[in-house]
Amino acid sequence: MKISSTFDAGSIEVVALDSFDDIRLRLRPDNASDFAQWFYFRLQGAAYQPCTMRILNAADAAYPEGWVDYQPCASYDRVNWFRVPARYEDGVLIIEHTPLASSIYYAYFEPYSYEQHLRLIGEAQSSGLVQLSDLGSTLDGRDLSLLTIGHEVSSDLKVWIIARQHPGETMTEWFIEGLLGRLLDTHDSLARALMDKATFYIVPNMNPDGSVRGNLRTNAAGANLNREWLTPSAERSPEVLWVREKMQETGVDLFLDIHGDESLPYVFVAGTEGTPNYRAPIAALEDKFKQHFLLASPDFQDEHGYAKDAPGEANLSMATAWVGNAFECLAFTLEMPFKDNANLPDDDMGWNGQRSLRLGEAILQPIYAVLNDIQLLRASQDDPSSAV
Ligand code: ZN
């Protein structure tokens, strides 16, 4: 019997591997911080053996409540992933599974590898509709890639979408894959109508270093990028610094920051109600966006989510608050579950890559629904005499 994790996004510590029913493991924290929750490892030599794997330090994870009603992901081929039974008891995550082959992978969530990332941006470029540009090199020397889709004329609304600031939230890059697939489909009338009015700026992976290192939440320097937006630095958070600079160059009319939530079994969004520049027209845009999102995808709901920030209480070091406030625009954090959508559960798969991908396709509809209103709002902002 053997456990290994030296591969893209692999992460686990082996404590004891003496018998199939007593495999003892520990979560390995991010390389330069204490955050831990992501795991991804390969088990070999246990075919047809009932295995009991205990993750001993599950209680020390970033979100221990994330283990309640949680089922780990498993795959024999790293293409088809399914859920396996687990329970959280006395601070230990206990996974009980009988592998049906000599080699099997277990992961916190269906991974999205760096190779998939490179294929995604390469295929996008091949569509002929995408300008692929390099914003800079990360601390580990990886490329931070930006996809620009649209005509980039000044009358266009600027739609910015970023994903995977938190590298363990792999569902977010699946989401981008779905969004791109639809947006680049020339037979899709919604995509074509969007392209007439907007230029999209998409960063499919804000944190490639953390992704490859198998981190949950931080980059190679240990920075939680979604706390760096007020004062990003080249030493600690170059990824945010460059994206911010590019945004200041292009402007932003609509912003989405895509995430996964360890605890809440729902898809939901959080807006910018606590920022200093929050105004009634933005609140109206938020409502309209959410109404159309509800129609576009039954996976979305607006009942469960984060508590709303009180006026002035928003944390401006977070992307959505900083961007929404700086550009006085509609801005949302979108969260998908690690567990499942409790409103539409799937016992075999839970929430997974394909469901995230479909949600990425669906998001184009609410974006389209609010574009005219954003245009009117911008026109009134440019013309003080027509202030409403
Ligand atoms: Zn996140």
In the three-class reduction of DSSP (H, G, I as helix; E, B as strand; rest coil), residue 230 is classed as coil
At 388 the pLDDT is 46
Tabulate helix, strand, coil % of the chain (nearest 5): 30, 25, 45
If we measure between CA atoms, which residue out of 152, 145, 149 comes closest to residue 122?
A: 145
Whether residue 1 contacts residue 20, with contact meaning beta carbons closer than 8 Å, is answered with yes
30 φ/ψ angles, rounded to the nearest 5 degrees: -50, 155
The question of whether 13 is a catalytic residue gets the answer no
Tokens 């994870």, located at residue:
61
Ligand 1 centroid to 41 CA: how many Å?
Answer: 22
Whether residue 191 contacts residue 137, with contact meaning beta carbons closer than 8 Å, is answered with no
Ligand 1 centroid to 219 CA: how many Å?
Answer: 13
Token digits of residue 223: 């920075």
Helix spans in the chain (H): 114-126, 171-183, 189-197, 208-213, 238-250, 280-296, 319-326, 353-362, 364-382
Ligand 1 centroid to 257 CA: how many Å?
Answer: 9
Whether residue 86 contacts residue 93, with contact meaning beta carbons closer than 8 Å, is answered with yes
Ligand 1 centroid to 60 CA: how many Å?
Answer: 18
CA 266 – CA 298 distance, rounded (Å):
11
Ligand 1 centroid to 318 CA: how many Å?
Answer: 10
Tokens 């804000």, located at residue:
206
Ligand 1 centroid to 252 CA: how many Å?
Answer: 21
CA 331 – CA 327 distance, rounded (Å):
9
CB neighbour list of residue 345: distance below 8 Å, 6 or more residues apart: none
Task: Give the DSSP letter string of 51-74.
Answer: EEEEETTGGGSS-GGGGTT---EE
Phi-psi region of 141 (alpha: psi -120 to 50; beta: other; left: phi over 0): left
If we measure between CA atoms, which residue out of 134, 146, 153, 157 comes closest to residue 201?
A: 146
Exposure on the CB side of residue 292, measured as CA atoms within 13 A = 15
Ligand 1 centroid to 16 CA: how many Å?
Answer: 32
Ligand 1 centroid to 152 CA: how many Å?
Answer: 29
Residue-level pLDDT, tens digit, the chain, 388 residues: 999 999 999 999 999 999 999 999 999 999 999 999 999 999 999 999 999 999 999 999 999 999 999 999 999 999 999 999 999 999 999 999 999 999 999 999 999 999 999 999 999 999 999 999 999 999 999 999 999 999 999 999 999 999 999 999 999 999 999 999 999 999 999 999 999 999 999 999 999 999 999 999 999 999 999 999 999 999 999 999 999 999 999 999 999 999 999 999 999 999 999 999 999 999 999 999 999 999 999 999 999 999 999 999 999 999 999 999 999 999 999 999 999 999 999 999 999 999 999 999 999 999 999 999 999 999 988 876 654 4
User: How far is residue 109 CA from its own chain's centroid?
Assistant: 12
At 382 the pLDDT is 80
Burial 312-341 (b: 16+ CB within 10 A, else e): eebebbbbbbbbbbbbbbbbbbbbbbbbbb
Token digits of residue 174: 């699946």
196: exposed, middle or buried (Cβ count in 10 Å: 0-12, 13-18, 19+): exposed
CA 302 – CA 321 distance, rounded (Å):
19
Q: Catalytic pick from 228, 328, 335, 361? A: 335
Radius of gyration of the chain (CA): 21
Indicate yes or no: pTM above 0.95.
Answer: yes
Exposure on the CB side of residue 93, measured as CA atoms within 13 A = 28
Residue 320 DSSP code:
H
Token digits of residue 68: 């309640």
